[in-house]
């Protein structure tokens, strides 16, 4: 995981569906997170995890624990995920946007456990009492409960998310020079005049409109050359 | 979708697996996005979409199109998703952190189409040529390709994500008063003295250590009262 020096431990509590375990493992592999722990999985369902394309390394390393307490014993922060519902929570509840930042920061100094409950019931009150705080994904109220594999993917994305990347990347393509844009404007004007689209080439307002139209194309240098080539050919055909 | 006044249209191009279509629909329902479009789905697989808990509304409304051009015709911005791989891309490529912001902003003025390719091949060059730009989820290079339903979930999360929510939420619990912390410190000192843990109660350094220890507990008012009650009971038992 790029955001910390300690591992994030994804802990699935009593997962029932091997497809979901596989999907969780795949999302972990996508985001560079390798430590999967299972508490009391149903009938060792995780050995059957099938949808786990390229995630076999995560699944091979996965550890099984009889109790949640043992699964999180070596972690300095334990965070439970919840879709809340109508249960009154005894814990501080943080939205993923903020909780994800806290977890990423905490990973600098300690391993962190991120808990996901069973598909049907989520985390129990007993499970939650092992947590320092709870975290929720900002889903809409009428349909808050996410698929397990998708919930894992979204949480891991937020944790590896790079806030600095939310800014424009420098455009590697060189912008077209104003001289080329002016040549395009001129060629287009000539072509439209010869085509009968513009009747009075000399009319200034048309020229200004064309000039602005061409600037709004935001052409890069390469595309400007392509346009010049196309327009020259069209002009040649019209005048020949 | 909370972030815009126009709809985001999730367009699945040639999806093969009904489970994935169902998972995409479920993620859409979770994040309040209702317009699903399918281009040339395999054998109308989307009617079988099974894992779509509570997503039947999205699936019922889903529209099928024979070509991508028709599926995106009414959109003012068309964005393709890709895991890049080793293909040289002819398009501007943006990371999800930035691309998601651009899409959320664009939804204020126009419908936007977000394209996902087939599970096996992703978007073709022909599909991509319909796009204004491409977007990638920041997965690790060695395993970039995400499960379709998970990719949809992560992209929608970033688009509805509220940057303002990435800040601490005000703590609703009142902090313990210093007076209560001092009473706890005093009681703990007495108990430790009676228990033989501290031999010389008068020794200032022990008292200072205890005082700091108690402050680091960051107690809220309610928990401070609970601690006072427990410590008083222990002292009573020790002295009786």
Rounded distance between C-alpha atoms, residue A240 and residue B142, angstroms: 57
Higher-pLDDT residue of B216, A169: B216
Please tell me which of the candidates A54, A143, A154 has its beta carbon nearest to residue B157. Answer: A154
pLDDT at A198: 78
Instruction: Assign domain B8-166 one CATH number from 3.40.50.300, 3.40.1280.10, 1.10.620.20, 3.30.413.10.
Output: 3.40.1280.10
Task: DSSP for B77-99, please give it.
Answer: EEEEE---TTPPPSS-EEEHHHH
pLDDT at B87: 57
Strand order in the sheet with A93-95: A63-65, A35-39, A8-13, A112-116, A77-81, A133-136, A93-95
Overall average pLDDT of the B147-152 stretch? 96
**What 3-state class would DSSP assign to A11?**
strand
Residues with Cβ < 8 Å from B150, sequence gap 6 or more? A23, A26, A27, A30, A149, A150, A153, B23
- Whether A150 sits inside 8 A of B23 (CB atoms) is yes
- Whether B98 sits inside 8 A of A169 (CB atoms) is yes
B15-55 residue pLDDT tens: 988 888 999 999 999 999 999 999 988 765 666 665 566 78
Rounded distance between C-alpha atoms, residue B231 and residue B26, angstroms: 51
Please tell me which of the candidates B30, B98, B154 has its beta carbon nearest to residue A167. Answer: B98
Comparing A8-166 with A178-239, is the CATH topology the same?
no
Nearest to B165 by CA among A137, A170, A98: A98
Least confident of A75-89, B41-55, B109-123, B150-164: B41-55
Domain boundaries, chain B: 8-166, 178-239
| Chain A residues in contact with B94 (beta carbon < 8 A) | 169
Task: Output b/e per residue, B151-184; b: 16+ Cβ within 10 A.
Answer: bbbbbbbbbbbeeeebeeeeeeeeebeeebbebb
Residue to test with chain B: of A161, A162, A163, A219, most B Cβ within 10 A: A161
Overall average pLDDT of the B135-144 stretch? 90
The angle at the Cα of A175, spanning A170 to A178, to the nearest 5 degrees, equals 150
- CATH class of the domain defined by A178-239: mainly alpha
B150, A26 Cβ separation under 8 angstroms? yes
- The predicted complex's ipTM stands at 0.85
Rounded distance between C-alpha atoms, residue B25 and residue B53, angstroms: 9
Work out the mean pLDDT of chain B and round it to a whole number: 88
State the pTM of this model: 0.86
pLDDT at B99: 96
To the nearest whole Å, the CA of A135 is away from the closest chain B CA by 12
Q: Do β-strands B93-95 and A133-136 pair in parallel, antiparallel, or remain unpaired?
A: unpaired
User: What percentage of chain B exceeds 70 in pLDDT?
Assistant: 88
Please tell me which of the candidates B29, B146, B149 has its beta carbon nearest to residue A143. Answer: B29
- pLDDT value at B85 more than 60: no
The distance of Cα A3 from the centroid of its chain, to the nearest Å, equals: 15
pLDDT at B197: 86
| Chain B residues in contact with A167 (beta carbon < 8 A) | 98
To the nearest whole Å, the CA of B226 is away from the closest chain A CA by 15
pLDDT at B225: 95
Q: pLDDT 10s digit of each residue in chain A, 240 long?
A: 545 689 999 999 999 888 889 999 999 999 999 999 999 887 656 666 655 667 888 998 999 999 999 999 999 999 999 987 555 667 888 999 999 999 999 999 999 999 999 988 899 999 999 999 999 999 998 888 899 999 999 999 999 998 888 887 666 778 899 999 999 999 999 999 988 887 765 567 888 899 999 999 989 999 999 999 999 999 999 988
Rounded distance between C-alpha atoms, residue A67 and residue A38, angstroms: 9
Overall average pLDDT of the B62-81 stretch? 95
* Secondary structure element (H or E) that encloses residue B155, with its range: helix B148-160
pLDDT at B49: 64
Quote the tokens at residue A120: 């049907």
Least confident of A45-49, A202-206, B167-171, B180-184: A45-49
Chain A, nearest residue to B164 by Cα:
A97
To the nearest whole Å, the CA of A148 is away from the closest chain B CA by 10
């Amino acid at each position: 995981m790029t955001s910390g020096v300690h591992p994030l431990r994804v802990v699935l509590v009593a997962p029932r569906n091997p497809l979901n375990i596989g999907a969780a493992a795949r999302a972990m592999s996508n985001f560079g997170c390798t430590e999967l722990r299972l508490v009391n999985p149903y009938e060792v369902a995780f050995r059957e995890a099938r949808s786990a394309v390229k995630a076999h390394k995560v699944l091979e390393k996965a550890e099984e624990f009889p109790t949640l307490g043992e699964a999180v014993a070596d972690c300095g922060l334990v965070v439970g995920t919840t879709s809340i519902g109508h249960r009154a929570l005894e814990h501080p509840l943080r939205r993923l946007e903020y909780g994800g930042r806290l977890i990423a920061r905490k990973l600098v100094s300690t391993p962190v456990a991120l808990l996901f409950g069973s598909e049907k019931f989520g985390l129990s009150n007993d499970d939650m009492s092992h947590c320092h705080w709870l975290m929720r994904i900002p889903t809409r109220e009428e349909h808050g409960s996410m698929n397990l594999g998708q919930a894992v993917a979204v949480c891991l994305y937020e944790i590896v998310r790079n806030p600095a990347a939310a800014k424009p990347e420098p455009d590697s393509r060189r912008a077209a020079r104003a001289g080329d844009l002016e040549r395009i404007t001129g060629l287009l004007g000539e072509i439209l005049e010869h085509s009968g689209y513009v009747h009075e080439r000399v009319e200034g307002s048309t020229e200004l409109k064309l000039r602005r139209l061409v600037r709004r194309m935001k052409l890069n240098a390469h595309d400007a050359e392509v346009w010049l080539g196309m327009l020259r050919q069209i002009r040649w055909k019209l005048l020949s």
